[in-house]
Structure 1
Amino acid sequence: MADTRTTGIPFNVTQRSQTKGGIGESTLRPDGTLKVTGEFAYSSDMWHEDMLWGQILRSPVAHAEIVSIDTGEALATPGVYAVLTYDDLPTDVKNYGLEIQDTPVLAHGKVRHHGEPVALVAADHPETARRAAAKIKVDYRELPVITDETSATAPGAILVHENRDDHHIGHAPHPNIVHRQPIVRGNVEEARKRADVIVEGDYYFGMQDQAFLGPESGLAVPAEDGGVDLYVATQWLHSDLKQIAPVLGLPEDKVRMTLSGVGGAFGGREDLSMQIHACLLALRTGKPVKIVYNRFESFFGHVHRHPAKLHYEHGATKDGKITHMSCRIVLDGGAYASASPAVVGNASSLAVGPYVIDDVDIEAIALYSNNPPCGAMRGFGAVQACFAYEAQMDKVADALGMDRVEFRQLNAMEQGTLMPTGQPVDSPAPVAELLRRIKAMPMPPERQWESSEGSDVRQLPGGLSNTTHGEGVVRGVGYAVGIKNVGFSEGFDDYSTAKVRMEVINGEPVVTVHTAMAEVGQGGITVHAQIARTELGVTQVTIQPADTQVGSAGSTSASRQTYVTGGAVKNACELVREKVLEIGRRKMGTYHPAWATAELLLEGGKVVTDGGEVLGDLVDVLEGEAVEVEEEWRHRPTEPFDLRTGQGNGHVQYSFAAHRAVVEVDTELGLVKVIELACAQDVGKALNPLSVIGQIQGGTIQGMGIAVMEEIVVDPKTAKVRNPSFTDYLLPTILDTPTIPVDVLELADEHAPYGLRGIGEAPTLSSTPAVLAAVRNATGLALDRTPVRPEHLTGTAASA
């Protein structure tokens, strides 16, 4: 795994401390050893004396009236302490939601998707709770299902939500459309006349599951003050809190939330799952209640990535310049809104990709349907668009007889380019350079399954199934590049809070950092310690558990945490440093005039001048003193996109990644082996190079998964999920993982802390279309959907 870190545009990042473990070093994760040895405590490992177990009864149908619910037999089951339905909810607030509060805590009147929660059970054993839930009798009267745009918007279509009153209804062309965002710039009709070639394409992107390792879980403990303490795996503590407290009828200060060990997230924990249910059962029974989903329940217990249908048109002149682009993106949001409006905003505003196109006509919508709810997942709308526009780039280049990479480079955006929203890209945008770098990387050897010791079938399509020894195997190479926004957009007040304390403990200066950031595997706790060491010149840094006793850190999503919460930690550390130096000037300034005149730094537990002269020891300065600062930090503001034209400065920052995929395809059996996925990405500043490489490789594999294997299959007639298990929902394993050489550029964004750029999502975008492009290159087939399946490659089903 290569780590070719390249510093491009110079940017002065003041290294205030040479203390080991600071910014720019590959420090190891403090939780890493515990996790790989199985000693780390996840939320599902929690235990409490006299604890009950919660169980959720879910709808077996996708759309139906609830005629009646009989809980008598369940309540009579020995060991059962409580059974709750909608009628048992304690307040008039019975719905929740990230933006639109349209999701019922428990179904009332009807169910809108397969697996919707209908009733709750608390019992003294998990099996007792499951058996009791199965005894609840629900009489359903099934209704027709809405499963696509045609059924959603047809004359007389059944409404998924009969009484919508959210703020999007005014501009949605139909009540079954959650949100619509057009983006129009220039004149596509006139630009079309200048085109020498025009290429169109229809694309389908499958529904992907976040497939985190740790299913949803949490423990709710009733408190003596009438409140509740909730220990839970989540992505956004304060958002959860704002949704939970009104349903419980409690003030927010009586719902105390603490982050427990999180086994992955990728967007699937932004929405509530079992949080309210556990609290309701705990408050009803007066006992701690633990809920842990099994894998089957998990598939119904969180949102998924929006499946999408996309129609694109591009035109270009014979010399290779793109004249125009038009597209229509239809995202299926499922039964409830979740993050669909924001996903629409991302999909539309990033629909052109990282290219200069002056004339565009874009429309993106999200549907309400009776399919599973969809919301946030790594890449968040930009993934679906990238799959389509990169397939189009190959088609246009082929129509012109141009090299596919050179065509992209000719049209690549750069710093100063205007986005289709009219917003200028005001930081480095090295799109052409990223493409140059991945194309220049050495290719993996041909027929690498052959060696002097014989054939290594693990390197072949089909792997250890031993289906081929090279007969009918063809190599393909494909390229793709993508653009992803960083941070929350469209006028959202995106901020984070950090509390930093510095004091002397046992004769050593110690810094404590406290934020509400959800550590979901991205390595934020490591980076926060690195920032504190850099800014405050200490070795010992303690990261307190994340909870709601400190201000919000926002969601661990949108590649924003290092930027925003890292920025808050940096800002708080700077204020602490100034206060420490003020104490030093007061205590020790009389001993050396430089205390008053020199630029003072903290380094290695000492106070030093900018010239390196040691003026004092931090232990002496802080003895008997403690300095603590809690500070919010905001990035520069954004604004909503105009609902008619889509114009507006809607995003904070952009990130870019490019991939080259090398695949081997067994054309007889339709099996694909991804040999290599080389990536080049600009990260602005690699705060922790080892973690940067890990993020890029992880995102790359998630993108590969949707290209060749991952899809939640929903029956188009019943809207039921057909494969809610890891037996039938296929995921890449270590045996499927290719070589992933990574070339990291560090072209600093002067607007961001340390010049950094959000990392985690961008590689998920371009890896998917790169793999599909390589498979097309190997087979000559026009593949237009994800994931590509064996039958698409062998002619046993309609290929694209």
Structure 2
Amino acid sequence: MGVTGSPTNINQGTRTKGGIGESTLRPDGILKVTGEFAYSSDMWHEDMLWGHTLRSTVAHAEIASIDISEALATSGVYAVLTYDDLPTAMKNYGLEIQDTPVLAHGRVRHHGEPVALVAADHPETARRAAAKIRIDYRELPVVTDEASATAPGAPLIHEGRDDHHIGHVPHPNIVHRQPIVRGDAEAAKARADVVVTGDYYFGMQDQAFLGPESGLAVPAEDGGVDLYVATQWLHSDLRQIAPVLGLPEDKVRMTLSGVGGAFGGREDLSMQIHACLLALRTGKPVKIVYNRFESFFGHVHRHPARLHYEHGATRDGKLTHMKCRIVLDGGAYASASPAVVGNASSLAVGPYVIEDVDIEALALYTNNPPCGAMRGFGAVQACFAYEAQMDKLAAELGMDPVRFRQLNAMEQGTLLPTGQQVDSPAPVAELLRRVKAMPMPPERQWESAGEHPDVRALPGGLSNTTHGEGVVRGVGYAVGLKNVGFSEGFDDYSTARVRMEVIGGEPVATVHTAMAEVGQGGVTVHAQIARTELGVAQVTIHPADTKVGSAGSTSASRQTYVTGGAVKNSCEAVREQVLEMGRRKFGTYHPAWATAELLLEGGKVVTDGGEVLADVADVLEDEAVDIELEWRHRPTEAFDLRTGQGNGHVQYSFAAHRAVVEVDTELGLVKVIELACAQDVGKALNPLSVVGQIQGGTIQGMGIAVMEEIMVDPVTAKVRNPSFTDYLLPTILDTPTIPVDVLELADDHAPYGLRGIGEAPTLSSTPAVLAAIRNATGLELNRTPVRPEHLTGL
């Protein structure tokens, strides 16, 4: 890894070990790799019951009747609940649009929709009882694509819609539509010497997190409930859960339990309300743990997309215009579809300067599985298409694909198609230069083992299908543009409580936020910030819960920026209060106490010249300092619904990839040899964690390029492969070498100059792999994932 760039402003007086800029180790790292970490599925409570969800076996049908009598009579069963048993008039929930029923009522809209709940004294008893519930389904025609969703007389997925998007969509089966128009794309087309078009398909990807959905609900003596759950956003869950239970929010107490990955799949509710309902009905703790089959139906997925793009360029390689239409399949319920549409449209042009654009993005309601947040949402699908277009244009012009991109690369000061100016570093051309300059992996690596080839380095791997015959190498490049944080006027903020006190004669700090640690390493960074700002060696991270203000969602690459900013803000306030206490207590003894140039360093109060004034322990001997503050980044605004103009995003991140692949052209097998990445991170608060995030995002993008896709039957809308037997994931044997070059160019608007990093590498790794396969085979390959039959024509 290389780390270069300009320094950023941090507390230069602080030299406490383990602060900002150091590769401190994760406090949960050893526990996780040894299997000792307690995930939410490991929770246990005395006298606990087990909950189970019965799901629909069809994608679209009327529910004529439900008979629970046999299930309820099963020995060991304590409760069976259907829609009619819900305690309040509020029976729906949703992130933005409350269109998702807690349990199906009158109709099911997708395969696997929850219909009934069972609580029993053993998980197998609950499952067997659920299987005894008799449901009479009367199947209805299914809506599976744009043609069937918007055809005259098409079944309406949600009749009588009254959400705030309905007024600007051309059909009720369209969740949200966002055009972006700048300049005159049709007139600019006349200036083009070359025009290329493409139709692209992006498959439905699963988050495939390690730990399936799970949680434990414990009824309380005050009539409320305590919920221990793996989630991405405690306060959003609370806002949706409490009205359904008919409880005030202060009687629904939520604590984050160990989260086995998320990637967007835990932004929506899964088992939270179900466990609480069963606990309140039975008066006993209820635990729900999905198996992998249930998990595929229990959370949203990445939107599959169909994208049509047109680009033009002059003979000297300058882009003239761009037109595109992006259709996202949102499935049966809205989830995060409106935000995904916003991202897909506003980032559809990519990291390039194009003055004349005509963009349309929309999301559909269908009877396919619900889709919502997944790492890089909206921007991932668009990047796949516009990067394929860049390669097409470069080929038509006879130009090097990297050079062509650099000629058109945005930079600081560029106006986006939304009219927003990029007001922080945008080193797109430099990232491409760096990734291209990285050393190439050796040719024919499988021969390095000597007489017998190392088949692990060949397409097909240990299946031993080839010893190098028919294997062709390809190289491809891609670069992407991703927003950071919540956008379009959302009140994006976080809260942090910081306490500083003396324990055992030493100053210590406690950081308390509601941030969901889902594997991204926030618990490590928050401690680093506290050490940097307070100069203390010992920092405790309080478990995340709803006893502190909201931290927002662990998504959109926002937590280090926003919750890190909140921790920094609260630490600064604590520091100033400690110093003020010292001024009151000791100020008469030294004139330097009256100055503002004071820092906390190693348990000492010092002047800016390093003169020690007092021990912090002496200042705090009588009382602790405890401060909770909210922190907001600069505001954004909604995009105009006609033109798409508006300052919709707070920050942008950039990553570039070079993929090297080897393809067995006879069998259609692909081996990704290397995925080199260069990314600007603003400031690497924890360099080791930064590289881990980049490598993880890179592999997730590679997965959708060559193997990952949820298959949905186009006739029945049923999921065909809800298991890791049939839904293929990259393993360690599929993982290529991933050299990373980290560039640090500070964003002056962000804490420490940092830039959100988690999503950007997921964008560009997918089209880079596709570009490399095209380079090896000469095939057009306009869909993900690429399968053997696409390469062999079989």
Task: Please state which band the TM-score falls in when normalised by the shorter chain.
Answer: over 0.9
1:336-485 mapped onto 2 (5 Å cutoff): 336-451=333-448, 453=450, 454-485=452-483
| Counterpart Cα distance in 1 of 2:324 and 2:699 | 28
Contact 1:16 1:535 in 2 (8 A): no
* One-letter amino acid of the counterpart of residue 562, structure 1: T
Question: Structure 1-normalised TM-score?
Answer: 0.99
Deviation per residue, 1:529-587 (Å, 9 max, x gap): 00000000000000000000000000000000000000000000000000000111111
1:736 aligned residue (734, 737, 740): 734
| Counterpart Cα distance in 2 of 1:110 and 1:660 | 48
- Equivalent in the alignment of 2:162: 165
| Counterpart Cα distance in 1 of 2:750 and 2:142 | 47
Q: CA offset at residue 597 of structure 1?
A: 3.0
1:198 aligned residue (175, 195, 198): 195
| Counterpart Cα distance in 2 of 1:219 and 1:177 | 36
2:78 aligned residue (38, 59, 81): 81
| Counterpart Cα distance in 2 of 1:446 and 1:634 | 50
Q: What secondary structure does 2:496 align onto?
A: strand
Matched, 1:228 2:254: no
RMSD: 0.6
- Equivalent in the alignment of 1:502: 500
Deviation per residue, 1:252-289 (Å, 9 max, x gap): 00000000000000000000000000000000000000
1:179-218 mapped onto 2 (5 Å cutoff): 179-218=176-215
1:584 aligned residue (564, 582, 586): 582
| Counterpart Cα distance in 2 of 1:522 and 1:535 | 22
1:542-561 mapped onto 2 (5 Å cutoff): 542-561=540-559
2:658 aligned residue (651, 655, 660): 660
Shifted more, 36-45 versus 606-615: the winner is 606-615
Q: CA offset at residue 452 of structure 1?
A: 5.1
Q: CA offset at residue 598 of structure 1?
A: 5.9
- Equivalent in the alignment of 1:529: 527
Deviation per residue, 1:225-253 (Å, 9 max, x gap): 00000000000000000000000000000
Q: CA offset at residue 71 of structure 1?
A: 0.1
Q: Percent identity?
A: 89
- Equivalent in the alignment of 2:595: 597
| Counterpart Cα distance in 2 of 1:758 and 1:18 | 25
| Counterpart Cα distance in 2 of 1:673 and 1:68 | 52
Matched, 1:116 2:139: no
Contact 2:309 2:325 in 1 (8 A): yes
| Counterpart Cα distance in 2 of 1:390 and 1:50 | 56
| Counterpart Cα distance in 1 of 2:348 and 2:489 | 20
Q: CA offset at residue 65 of structure 1?
A: 0.2
Gap change, CA 1:493 and 1:712, over 3 Å in 2: same
* One-letter amino acid of the counterpart of residue 126, structure 1: P
- Equivalent in the alignment of 1:489: 487
| Counterpart Cα distance in 2 of 1:738 and 1:188 | 40
Q: CA offset at residue 589 of structure 1?
A: 1.8
Deviation per residue, 1:34-55 (Å, 9 max, x gap): 0000100000000000000000
Q: CA offset at residue 429 of structure 1?
A: 0.1
- Equivalent in the alignment of 1:292: 289
1:582-661 mapped onto 2 (5 Å cutoff): 582-597=580-595, 599-661=597-659
1:88-127 mapped onto 2 (5 Å cutoff): 88-127=85-124
* One-letter amino acid of the counterpart of residue 621, structure 1: V
Contact 1:18 1:534 in 2 (8 A): yes
| Counterpart Cα distance in 1 of 2:405 and 2:330 | 32
Q: What secondary structure does 1:170 align onto?
A: helix
Contact 1:711 1:729 in 2 (8 A): yes
* One-letter amino acid of the counterpart of residue 712, structure 2: V
| Counterpart Cα distance in 1 of 2:586 and 2:21 | 32
| Counterpart Cα distance in 2 of 1:475 and 1:735 | 19
| Counterpart Cα distance in 2 of 1:594 and 1:96 | 57
Matched, 1:672 2:679: no
Q: CA offset at residue 395 of structure 1?
A: 0.1
1:747 aligned residue (738, 745, 754): 745
2:568 aligned residue (564, 570, 576): 570
* One-letter amino acid of the counterpart of residue 464, structure 1: L
Matched, 1:323 2:320: yes
| Counterpart Cα distance in 1 of 2:251 and 2:743 | 47
Gap change, CA 1:40 and 1:452, over 3 Å in 2: closer
Q: CA offset at residue 595 of structure 1?
A: 1.5
Contact 1:337 1:368 in 2 (8 A): yes
* One-letter amino acid of the counterpart of residue 704, structure 2: I
Unaligned runs of 5+ in 1: none
Matched, 1:20 2:5: no
- Equivalent in the alignment of 2:31: 34
| Counterpart Cα distance in 1 of 2:638 and 2:399 | 38
Contact 2:341 2:361 in 1 (8 A): yes
Q: How many correspondences in the alignment? A: 793
Matched, 1:762 2:760: yes
2:538 aligned residue (534, 537, 540): 540
Gap change, CA 1:30 and 1:452, over 3 Å in 2: closer
Contact 1:497 1:633 in 2 (8 A): yes
Matched, 1:278 2:275: yes
* One-letter amino acid of the counterpart of residue 500, structure 1: V
| Counterpart Cα distance in 2 of 1:452 and 1:291 | 50
- Equivalent in the alignment of 1:67: 64
Q: CA offset at residue 590 of structure 1?
A: 2.5
| Counterpart Cα distance in 2 of 1:783 and 1:686 | 36
| Counterpart Cα distance in 1 of 2:187 and 2:592 | 68
Q: What secondary structure does 1:470 align onto?
A: coil
Contact 2:8 2:683 in 1 (8 A): no
| Counterpart Cα distance in 1 of 2:412 and 2:160 | 46
Q: CA offset at residue 357 of structure 1?
A: 0.1
Gap change, CA 1:7 and 1:86, over 3 Å in 2: same
| Counterpart Cα distance in 2 of 1:397 and 1:615 | 65
| Counterpart Cα distance in 2 of 1:392 and 1:415 | 23
* One-letter amino acid of the counterpart of residue 293, structure 1: Y
Contact 1:638 1:651 in 2 (8 A): yes
Matched, 1:715 2:713: yes
Q: What secondary structure does 1:565 align onto?
A: helix
Q: What secondary structure does 1:541 align onto?
A: strand
1:132-143 mapped onto 2 (5 Å cutoff): 132-143=129-140
Contact 2:182 2:357 in 1 (8 A): yes
Question: Structure 2-normalised TM-score?
Answer: 0.99
* One-letter amino acid of the counterpart of residue 199, structure 1: V
Contact 1:13 1:755 in 2 (8 A): no
Q: What secondary structure does 1:451 align onto?
A: helix
| Counterpart Cα distance in 2 of 1:529 and 1:452 | 46
2:253 aligned residue (248, 251, 256): 256
| Counterpart Cα distance in 2 of 1:188 and 1:555 | 37
Contact 2:11 2:533 in 1 (8 A): no
| Counterpart Cα distance in 2 of 1:394 and 1:660 | 13
